[in-house]
Amino acid sequence: MNGELMAAEMAEQPDVLARVTARAPADAEAVRAVVPRPLAGVVFLARGSSDNAAVFGRYLAELRAGRPAGLAAPSLYTRYHATVDWRGYLVVALSQSGATPEIISTCQAVRAGGAVVLGITNEPDSPLADAVDVLLSTDAGPERAVPATKTVTAQLALLVTVTSALRAGAADATPGAAGETADAVSDAPDGGTLDGLRGAVAGVLGDPGPVERLADRWRGLDRLVVAGRGLAYAAALETALKVKETTGILAEGISTADLLHGPIAAVYAGAPVLLVDGGGPADTDLDELRALLASRRAHVASLPVPPGLPEAVHVIAAITRGQQLSYELARARHVNPDAPAHLSKVTATT
């Protein structure tokens, strides 16, 4: 037992993502049936890897719904017992297990405050089912390796569907606030941006050479900065988390803009930087950063993804690359990525 579970679950992703793609029309319809109109805003609620999927959803939701989106702060409900008027809001709660206590109790609190709550889980019979208005399943099959892989990319694919459904409705509710906006991410009709996803992810999984070489070069790291912007910011955060979980390397995901701003000083102290591009309009910052880092002779690498993909598909493929790098780094360091020390599968934060 040395990474077989994680490898097997990563390898299931093309099939899992094909199923999510096939269900997209029905899932979008389920979202349209409950989304509040007029829509005041969209808020994502999650922890861990699901919280990185939430970052991806937050960008897409604001672009497509044409209303502000954001991330929930669960401690406001579990610790401060805040009383908040959530009327008009759609809250999207993501939990692989559907059993994280603070996610359940925060769902209950925002729903009591008037929010419509959409749950996304890999366990449709979990407690999350009773705390939401509608539940969508990632349907990825049992996940046994501690580092989540197939459930994360399935969450992102589902969020492409969910946010597509917001766009269609938003065009009716707020004339002039859709259209051009949504096209910045995709010209395709609702759900269409999932086209090509299965092939892109299968292509990455079938070509591990680039990250095997990178993992060999970086096997001795004790820290790493992972940078991206826009939709790719989510891929940077998730890759950093996955590297942490599988290897113990102190990897930090960061926005390219923040890295250009202040904390970059830390880079000069010798931390290598992994750049994650999104194949979209936010990549201009990466070019600037790459030039700056080169002039400082920092150790820099990129997560290679084939060009020409729609941005959302590109980012999901980049996350698969990041999983692959984490797996290979763990193997190169003789760590078992299936069950990193002291990590348990179900989040118990309350």
**Contact map string, positions 280 to 299, toward its own copies, x by CB under 8 A:** xxx-xx----------x---
Binding positions for its own copies, 34-53, rule CB under 8 A: 40-41, 43, 47-49, 51
The rounded distance, in Å, linking the Cα atoms of 260 and 85 is 37
Q: With respect to its own copies, which residue has the nearer C-beta, 8 or 76?
A: 76
Shortest distance in whole angstroms from residue 187 CB to its own copies:
14
Which of 184, 216, 291, 308: binder of its own copies (CB under 8 A)?
184
3-state secondary structure of 134: strand
Rg, C-alpha atoms of the chain: 19
Q: Which stretch binds its own copies (CB under 8 A): 28-36, 187-195, 210-218, 240-248?
A: 240-248
Q: With respect to its own copies, which residue has the nearer C-beta, 14 or 337?
A: 337
Binding positions for its own copies, 200-229, rule CB under 8 A: 222-223, 225, 229
**Contact map string, positions 86 to 115, toward its own copies, x by CB under 8 A:** x-xx------------x-------------
Alpha helices in 185-230 (DSSP H): 197-205, 209-217
Please name the amino acid found at residue 334.
H
Residues in the interface with its own copies (CB under 8 A) total 83
DSSP H or E stretch at residue 336: none
Contact 218, 330 (CB under 8 A): no
3-state secondary structure of 291: helix
130 CB contacts (<8 Å, ≥6 apart)?
Answer: none
Contact 2, 333 (CB under 8 A): no
Shortest distance in whole angstroms from residue 245 CB to its own copies:
5
| Helices 13-34 and 150-173, axial angle in degrees (round to 10) | 30
Which of 178, 214, 273, 303: binder of its own copies (CB under 8 A)?
178
Residue 62 in the binding site for its own copies (CB under 8 A): yes
| Helices 311-332 and 209-217, axial angle in degrees (round to 10) | 50
Binding positions for its own copies, 296-315, rule CB under 8 A: 296
- Cis omega before residue 68 (within 30°)? no
Contact 114, 89 (CB under 8 A): yes
Q: Which stretch binds its own copies (CB under 8 A): 16-24, 129-137, 207-215, 276-284?
A: 276-284
Which of 1, 142, 180, 220: binder of its own copies (CB under 8 A)?
180
Shortest distance in whole angstroms from residue 14 CB to its own copies:
25
